[in-house]
Amino acid sequence: EPEVTQTPSHQVTQMGQEVILRCVPISNHLYFYWYRQILGQKVEFLVSFYNNEISEKSEIFDDQFSVERPDGSNFTLKIRSTKLEDSAMYFCASSEGGRGRGYTFGSGTRLTVV
Amino acid sequence: SQQGEEDPQALSIQEGENATMNCSYKTSINNLQWYRQNSGRGLVHLILIRSNEREKHSGRLRVTLDTSKKSSSLLITASRAADTASYFCATDAYSGGGADGLTFGKGTHLIIQP
């Protein structure tokens, strides 16, 4: 069964450093997403991406965040200057889009900011 | 309560029993989805029910949706130890013309006692 692949599985970074989280969505999917889950809290929507541009973003997705699809397969989330409160599990997801379509999530990247 | 609020927060039952989890939401939706998350792992899509559907089955899973009460339930029949996980409902308020994100609840932590 097709999978969404995320790398790395765990990243530790110092506060103020830039991190790039990588995702390979399912190849025939058209919509891509990033979500995050702070330990013990809800899964929160960050951003959706369609047709090579951001479709929607939440209040969490401020100027320190950016997304990119640099080639035909990768989808990245960049955090420019990490803060302690950015520590969370980050999930990438993709879907075929349209009504009635489920999402396929990756296994996540656990980001720890120290 | 917030969009996508599950209850109970935790449920512990004996193997073989049925487990029922509920979800309430506040806004109009296009579909509601249930996901499972094993500890520290990614989200696995279980089942999606559209706003014009009232009940849906998939294997040992049965989902109901009552849009008049803005609520849904997930029933797992003949539970197994491997069903131990957190279960989340997520609402999709897809508004057309873009890829809106899912809104997740806090989840129900289900423990199946062998």
**Local confidence pLDDT in tens for the 114 residues of chain A:** 789 999 999 999 999 999 999 999 998 898 999 999 998 888 999 999 988 899 889 999 999 999 999 887 899 999 999 999 999 999 999 988 765 678 899 999 999 999
pLDDT the model gives residue A86? 97
Q: Do B100 and A106 touch (CB under 8 A)?
A: no
Compute how many other C-beta atoms are within 10 angstroms of the C-beta atom of residue A40.
6
pLDDT the model gives residue A41? 87
DSSP of A4-42: -EEE-SEEEE-TT--EEEEEE--TT--EEEEEEE-TTS-
pLDDT the model gives residue B95? 58
Name residue B80's amino acid: R
pLDDT the model gives residue A101? 75
Q: Which pair of tokens denotes residue B40?
A: 């520290």
- Sign of the torsion angle spanned by Cα atoms A1, A107, B93, B73: positive
A55 Cβ under 8 Å from any chain B Cβ: yes
Distance from CA of B54 to the nearest CA of A (A): 14
Give the chain B residue whose CA is nearest to the CA of A10. B40
pLDDT at B3 over 80: no
Distance from CA of B113 to the nearest CA of A (A): 22
pLDDT the model gives residue B24? 94
> Is there a contact between B61 and B94 (Cβ–Cβ < 8 Å)?
no
Beta bridge partner(s), residue B21? B74
> Is there a contact between A79 and A64 (Cβ–Cβ < 8 Å)?
yes
Q: Do A99 and B50 touch (CB under 8 A)?
A: yes
